[in-house]
Amino acid sequence: MPLLWIATIALYFLGIAAIDQYTKNKEEKDPRCVIIDEVVGQMTTFCIVIPGFLHWPILLLGFLLFRLFDVVKFGSVAMWDQQKRPLGVMMDDVMAGLQSAFILGLIQIIYILT
């Protein structure tokens, strides 16, 4: 998993720079064609999953949880989504990924303890 952490952090900073460059002279600050934020958010979802626990049902559940939190925008996701700067564009998806990771973490703990 350390490689996933490194890749996620690297893409996070690369994404902020890319979004900043892409939106510099544009009116829309969170264009739908920019998906690096979604990729980083999805990667964040799986950063705490134990490698032996990474089977297709967990991958599917993680994807669905991330999409749920990204669309519904609970709590801090909504706060970051309102900030139409490169950091806000990235952070709303990172926060949705962290919320998804939290749920997957609870599932892992319950599975391990039972």
Residue 95 pLDDT exceeds 90: yes
pTM of the model: 0.90
Q: Which of 35, 54, 34, 52 is nearest to 101 (CA)?
A: 54
- The distance of Cα 111 from the centroid of its chain, to the nearest Å, equals 23
| Number of domains forming the structure of the chain | 1
Return the minimum-mean-pLDDT range out of 38-42, 52-56, 66-70, 72-76. 52-56
CA–CA separation, 84 vs 47, rounded Å? 26
Quote the pLDDT of residue 72. 95
pLDDT attached to residue 92: 94
Residue 90 belongs to domain spanning? 2-113
Residue 1 has pLDDT above 80, yes or no: no
